[in-house]
Structure 1
Amino acid sequence: MTLADGIWHQIFSFDNYGELLTLVRNSLIAGAALGLVGGLAGVFVVMRDLPFAVHGISELSFAGASGALLLGTNIVAGSITGSLLAAGAIGVLGARARDRNSVIGIIMPFGLGLGVLFLALYKGRAANKFGLLTGQIVAVDTPQMTWLLGTSAVVLITLAVIWRPLTFASADPDVAEARGVPVRGLSIAFMLVLGLAIALSVQAVGALLVLSLVVTPAAAAARVTASPVLLPVLSALFAVVSIEGGILLALGSSIPISPYVTTVSFTLYVVCRLVGGNRARRWGARRSSSPQLAMS
């Protein structure tokens, strides 16, 4: 076997795939829930220009999970606690974009430093440390799935309740506030929901690559549609395809799940960008060739 063949076999191995597939039923169920949460929350992340906030919250989520690992407590609960603390701080202290970015810039290195400290003090399996950074959803046990599904339900129900006013506040906050929409309260509420969504996504792809589930699917969907109905549907679909595809591709290999999830997510974005660009060029050519369209 050549070196290239050995590397390929490490990345893609389908030996005993049928037997392995029966072992990841919990992971596929949890992955579908995380895809829905990440895809729907990502719509507002893109609308409100919050990708930097996603990264900042993920660092505190990583610190919370690392602290829970060190103390021997529930890692998902630790991740959620860290995320909510970061999201609450960003929501309360960063009402304006400039203030928000400053707060995030302070929180990010603090969270990362705490996480590294906790992992350095942890004397257990190295795979547990690595999983916090790169994800470990292929090995979801029943208690973890209960936490993941329960928290996912909270996020989805909350988003359903605040969806319409949050969409208005995200599209035009000044007009929404003038019409009595509680813009600041919705902003804080969404940041807390986003914190939960990020804590869940960290379980799948780790703290370093969480943007691939919370930002990339929504950004891809926005390239092909501006419909307020189709956009969240496509974003959620792309996120589910990314995580489920990542699980299935990673199943037979010795590589962590995150490279597969991020590759599928990035591929979908590239395809959507090409489709959207081609559609824009065709529309531009049609407008220039038709006097009525050019004047409209």
Structure 2
Amino acid sequence: MTLADGLWQQVFVFDHYGELLPLVRNSLIAGAVIGLVGGLVGVFVIMRDLPFAVHGISELSFAGASGALLLGVNVVAGSIVGSLAAAGAIGVLGARARERNSAIGIIMPFGLGLGVLFLALYKGRAANKFGLLTGQIVAVDTPQTTWLIGTSVLVLAALAVMWRPLTFASADPEVAAARGVPLRGLSLAFMLALGAAVALSVQIIGALLVLTLVVTPAAAAARVTASPVLLAVLSAGFAVLSIEGGILLALGSTIPISPYVTTISFTIYGCCRLAGRRRPRRAVRPRTT
């Protein structure tokens, strides 16, 4: 057996696949719900230019999850608390883009430092530490699934309530303000919804690569459509496909889930980018006089 064959068998292992599949039933359910939430939230992340904020929130979500792991309490709850704290701080401190980026730059190292401290103090299984950073597929038990689904329902309900005014405010904030849309309150509400979505994504994909679930699907969808409705549908579909495909490919392998999810998500983006190159060229035609 060559070295390449050995590496290939480590990346894609399908021995006893049918027996292993029931072990990730909860992860598949949670992944579908998280993909839906991440894809829909990602639409406004792209519209409002917030990818950097997603990364900043994920760092404090990692700190909250690490602290919960150290204390022996619910990791999902700790992750959500950390995310909401970061999202709230960014929303309050960063009304303008320049101020927001400065706030994120301050919060990110603080959250990462806390997370590293908590993991250094944690004396349990090393897999639990690694999973918070790079994702895990078999550690999602029934209580965690309940937390994930319940939080996802709340985020989806919040998005449904503020979808239209948030779309208006994201597309043309000056006109929206003139029409009486409460921009500051709406921005804070969305940041809290984004924080919850990031916390959910961290449970499966890990804190380091959460951007691939919240940002990449929406960015891919934006390459092939300008329709707000189709943008949301494609973004959610791409996110669900990425996370479910990543879980199924990672099953049986010793490699974390994150490389699989990121590869699928990036491949979708690459295909959409290539497809999107043709659309403007066909749409724009020179006028003749």
Q: Name the residue aligned to 1:34.
A: 34
Q: Does 1:230 align with 2:241?
A: no
Q: Name the residue aligned to 2:167.
A: 167
Write the distance in 2 (CA, Å) between the matches of 1:137 and 1:155: 22
What's the CA shift string for 1:167-212, capped at 9, x where partnerless? 0011111110110111110000000000000000111111100000
Q: Name the residue aligned to 2:209.
A: 209
Write the distance in 2 (CA, Å) between the matches of 1:156 and 1:165: 15
Q: Name the residue aligned to 2:154.
A: 154
> How far apart are 1:3 and its partner, in Å?
1.6
Q: Name the residue aligned to 2:269.
A: 269
Matches within 5 A, 1:72-221: 72-221=72-221
Q: What is the identity, as a one-letter code, of the residue corresponding to 1:4? A: A
Q: What is the identity, as a one-letter code, of the residue corresponding to 1:190? A: F
Range moving further from structure 2, 117-126 or 79-88:
117-126
**Is the contact made by 1:138 and 1:257 (CA closer than 8 Å) also made in structure 2?**
no
What's the CA shift string for 1:102-158, capped at 9, x where partnerless? 000000000000101111111111111000000113331100100000000000011
**Is the contact made by 2:24 and 2:137 (CA closer than 8 Å) also made in structure 1?**
no
Write the distance in 2 (CA, Å) between the matches of 1:59 and 1:16: 36
**Is the contact made by 1:138 and 1:247 (CA closer than 8 Å) also made in structure 2?**
no
Q: Does 1:45 align with 2:62?
A: no
Q: What is the identity, as a one-letter code, of the residue corresponding to 1:80? A: I
Q: What is the identity, as a one-letter code, of the residue corresponding to 2:248? A: L
User: What SS does the corresponding residue of 1:252 show, helix, strand or coil?
Assistant: coil
Q: How many residues align?
A: 289
User: What SS does the corresponding residue of 2:146 show, helix, strand or coil?
Assistant: helix
Write the distance in 1 (CA, Å) between the matches of 2:134 and 2:212: 12
User: What SS does the corresponding residue of 1:151 show, helix, strand or coil?
Assistant: helix
**Is the contact made by 1:137 and 1:257 (CA closer than 8 Å) also made in structure 2?**
yes
> How far apart are 1:25 and its partner, in Å?
1.5
Write the distance in 1 (CA, Å) between the matches of 2:38 and 2:136: 17
Write the distance in 1 (CA, Å) between the matches of 2:122 and 2:21: 32
Q: What is the identity, as a one-letter code, of the residue corresponding to 1:163? A: W
Q: Name the residue aligned to 1:2.
A: 2
Please, what is the CA RMSD of the aligned residues? Answer: 1.0
Write the distance in 2 (CA, Å) between the matches of 1:252 and 1:72: 28
> How far apart are 1:279 and its partner, in Å?
2.2
Q: What is the identity, as a one-letter code, of the residue corresponding to 2:184? A: R
**Gap regions ≥5 residues in structure 2:** none
Write the distance in 2 (CA, Å) between the matches of 1:279 and 1:84: 39
Write the distance in 2 (CA, Å) between the matches of 1:283 and 1:209: 35
What's the CA shift string for 1:222-250, capped at 9, x where partnerless? 00001011000000000000000000100
Write the distance in 2 (CA, Å) between the matches of 1:143 and 1:24: 14
Write the distance in 1 (CA, Å) between the matches of 2:263 and 2:125: 27
State the TM-score, normalized to the length of structure 1: 0.96
> How far apart are 1:215 and its partner, in Å?
0.1
Write the distance in 2 (CA, Å) between the matches of 1:275 and 1:108: 35
Range moving further from structure 2, 268-277 or 2-11:
2-11
Q: Does 1:241 align with 2:241?
A: yes
Write the distance in 2 (CA, Å) between the matches of 1:42 and 1:230: 13
Structure 1 runs (4+) deviating above 4 angstroms are none
Range moving further from structure 2, 130-139 or 202-211:
130-139
Write the distance in 1 (CA, Å) between the matches of 2:174 and 2:260: 41
**Gap regions ≥5 residues in structure 1:** none
User: What SS does the corresponding residue of 2:202 show, helix, strand or coil?
Assistant: helix
> How far apart are 1:20 and its partner, in Å?
1.2
